[in-house]
Amino acid sequence: MAGAKSKVLVTSLLSLTCLALAGCSNQGNHEKTKVSDKSPQTNDPTAAATTGNADSQQKDQKPQDKSTVDELADIPGLRNLELKTLAKTPDAMIICYVEQAPITVDAFKREYRSAIVSLQAMLGIDPNRVRELLIKAHDLNITLSDIEKGKLLATAKLPRSLEGRTYEQFLKEKKLTPAQFEEQVFQLGLAFKAGAKIIEAQLLSEMINRQLLINEAKRAGFYKSAFNQYLETKRTKQYKELIEKTDQTPEQVREELINQSMLEMVMDRIAKQAPISDDVLLKQYDANKKLFTHGPRAELAQIIVAAPTVDNPPMESVRTQLRRENPKMSDQELIDLEKVTRQQQQLQANELLKRALNNEDFKTLADNNSDDPQTRAQKNGGVIGYVDLVTTASPDLNKIIEAAKKLKSGQVAPNVIETSMGYHVLKVLKKEDAGTLPFAEVKGELKNLIANNNKQMAQIAWIKNKRRTADIKVSKEYEALGNR
């Protein structure tokens, strides 16, 4: 299905009453903005959330006679009800208590509307997600009934769904046959239905998970910081625009913004409590060594005698420095003084080079004489690390590389190298042929690569354990509703 063609049809599917939450909301409110306090990892309302039922997420078998895995199986007495039943249920009814914090029918309906709006927006901009939901529909045995297909086509053929054109005009302009039009409409409709089914199955479980996290955040004392963040947000232009667009009250917006901040704080804390061990990193390194290779390279150290020819904040060129120090000097006088200054800096670099070639300790020379602030501060001997010996887009770096190519390990370049920064005395500490990067060198990069997955796994484990021990009670009213 072509993304560009399907996108123009998607608006016709969003108003289908057979796929919407029947009687649960005013359709006019669907375009309103809702502050989201969902877990920050994903904006996809149908994705398997990192805070979901960890047991159900690890299952990879096709369910039998069910549209989705039961996300509430670990909570005795709690089950999802059909949306048409909830639509007739009073908003004030409490579904369950999560450590004494109530989850109401009204809150569920608001969350569902928000998730459906997100689903609609996602289908309109992400053809890949449409394809994924079509696969999910097949796996879950979700299909469109003849009645649903009829409503889909009837709505899709209306001029308001076709950019104001008639059905015949639209087909002609888009170069579609009636069969292609129907196929795209049905695919979008089926993707939407699958997404809505997934949301329906996961939502209550996700609300329980969020409440557990919010409760933990309050116990950890994060409310005050979250409230201060809310006060800062309240003073922004974006907050005022949000209040104008949303169908929520200012009190509801405040609560959800604070909850969102607390969620991020507590989830970061959970992730930090599960650090990535060196053993885990080493296993990942051994399994992916082919990703950590390098070409011919050299470990370099340098002494810089600054004589910059261009302004590169915070570094100023020699001319700019001299102009600031001598504001009354003529242009010609400035040019002459600059020439003398650069000659003096070059002489200094040549003297340092002579000392280095006479086997004076390079580290001491660099630590005491280099104009590189990092070398002076860290006393690192001017070491700049490994540099691949290949041509780059930087003329200055290419000068360094060409000089390094001609040297052996332990050698100092016989001549000072001039760049836009000044004058460089260069030493090759070590030279290596193409090979595999050592574990110690890629450890930091590898840790960053797997940190997000480790964070999600830590959050899943926390939720899984918390749901086993937390006091989660189904209200008598909701339990009675399920037994009718």
Q: What is the mean pLDDT of the chain?
A: 83
What the block records as the tokens of 131 is 């394809």
d(CA 339, CA 229): 55
Task: Please give the single-letter amino acid code of residue 233.
Answer: T
pLDDT at site 34: 58
d(CA 171, CA 358): 83
Whether the predicted pLDDT of 368 surpasses 90: yes
Query: Domain 293-436 adopts which CATH fold?
Result: Chitinase A; domain 3 (3.10.50)
pLDDT at site 388: 92
Residue 7, exposed/middle/buried by CB under 10 A (0-12, 13-18, 19+)? middle
Whether the predicted pLDDT of 274 surpasses 80: no
Give pLDDT tens digits for 446-481.
887 787 777 888 888 899 999 999 999 999 988 888
Give pLDDT tens digits for 207-232.
999 999 999 999 999 999 999 999 99
Cβ neighbors of 191 (< 8 A, separation 6 or more) are 123, 129, 130, 133, 134, 137
Domain boundaries, the chain: 3-209, 293-436
Among 70-84, 152-166, 252-266, 296-310, where is mean pLDDT lowest? 70-84
Kindly indicate the confidence band of residue 43, based on its pLDDT and cuts at 50, 70 and 90.
Answer: low
pLDDT at site 35: 59
Kindly indicate the confidence band of residue 277, based on its pLDDT and cuts at 50, 70 and 90.
Answer: confident
Q: What angle do CA 62, 65, 69 make, to 5 degrees?
A: 55
Give pLDDT tens digits for 328-344.
999 999 999 999 999 99
Query: For the residues 299-320, what does the mean pLDDT come to?
Result: 91
Residue 383 vs residues 103, 325, 363, 364: alpha-carbon distances, Å: 59, 32, 9, 12
pLDDT at site 52: 42
Among 24-33, 139-148, 424-433, where is mean pLDDT lowest? 24-33
**Percent of the residues in the chain that have a pLDDT greater than 90, as a whole number:** 51
Cis bond leading into 178, ω under 30°? no
Contact 102, 25 (CB under 8 A): no
